């Protein structure tokens, strides 16, 4: 039995290497071309019991407020992010922030009616993410209206 397990080691090793490379590719770097900017959208058609990461699916890297989408070596931390519900139904939104990588505070999920705006201020912390969850069968959509 032990010899059969060993033949899978190269497969598991290759799988782990692919996962590490994929993680490195999808994790935006400071000042990357994936900087959050006005007009970017986050949209989901998932069932209401599931939320999505707008930082990963639409908005881009929320940690830094870069003046352009070009690579900027030392962008300042995002001080405020204003979003608007551009969908037809209310959505639930929460923010995730913290003082450093690995330390996260998740805000309470709050209802955002259609057409309404809300500004998230991490208060000196790093804004890591905004989560979006729909309330019905219509797609849930948020748009970035301002970045400071």
What is the tens place of the pLDDT at every residue in 35-66?
Answer: 788 999 999 999 999 999 999 999 988 998 88
pTM for the structure as a whole: 0.74
**Could you tell me if residue 9 is inside a domain?**
no
**Could you tell me if residue 115 is inside a domain?**
yes
The answer to whether the beta carbons of residues 31 and 71 sit under 8 Å apart is yes
CATH number at residue 101: 2.60.120
Token couple for 127: 């804004």
**Could you tell me if residue 5 is inside a domain?**
no
* Window from 22-26, 56-60, 127-131 with minimum mean pLDDT: 22-26
**Could you tell me if residue 84 is inside a domain?**
yes
pLDDT at 15 over 80: no
Q: For 124-129, what is the mean pLDDT? A: 94
Q: Which domain, by its residues, includes 137?
A: 29-147
pLDDT at 7: 58
CA–CA dist 68, 138 (Å, integer): 33
**Could you tell me if residue 19 is inside a domain?**
no
The answer to whether the beta carbons of residues 141 and 52 sit under 8 Å apart is no
pLDDT at 22: 32
* Window from 8-12, 24-28, 47-51, 140-144 with minimum mean pLDDT: 24-28
- The number of folded domains in the chain is 1
Residues in the chain: 148
**Could you tell me if residue 101 is inside a domain?**
yes
Non-local CB neighbours of 25 within 8 Å, separated by 6+ positions: none
**Could you tell me if residue 126 is inside a domain?**
yes
**Could you tell me if residue 38 is inside a domain?**
yes
Please write the tens of the pLDDT for every residue from 81-113: 999 999 999 999 999 999 998 999 999 999 999
Phi, psi torsion values for 12, nearest 5 degrees: -65, -40
The answer to whether the beta carbons of residues 90 and 114 sit under 8 Å apart is yes
């Amino acid at each position: 039995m032990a010899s059969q397990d060993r033949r899978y080691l190269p497969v598991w090793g290759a799988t782990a290497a692919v996962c590490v490379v994929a993680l490195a590719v999808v994790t935006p770097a400071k000042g990357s071309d994936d900087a959050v900017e006005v007009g970017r959208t986050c949209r989901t058609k998932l069932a209401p019991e599931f939320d999505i990461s707008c930082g990963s699916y639409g908005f881009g890297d929320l940690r830094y407020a870069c003046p352009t989408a070009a690579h900027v070596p030392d962008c300042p931390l995002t001080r405020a992010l204003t979003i608007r519900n551009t969908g037809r139904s209310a959505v639930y939104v929460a923010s995730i922030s913290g003082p450093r990588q690995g330390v996260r505070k998740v805000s309470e999920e709050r209802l955002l009616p259609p057409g309404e705006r809300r500004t998230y201020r991490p208060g000196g912390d790093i804004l890591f993410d905004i989560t979006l969850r729909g309330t019905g069968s219509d797609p849930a959509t948020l748009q970035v209206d301002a970045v400071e």
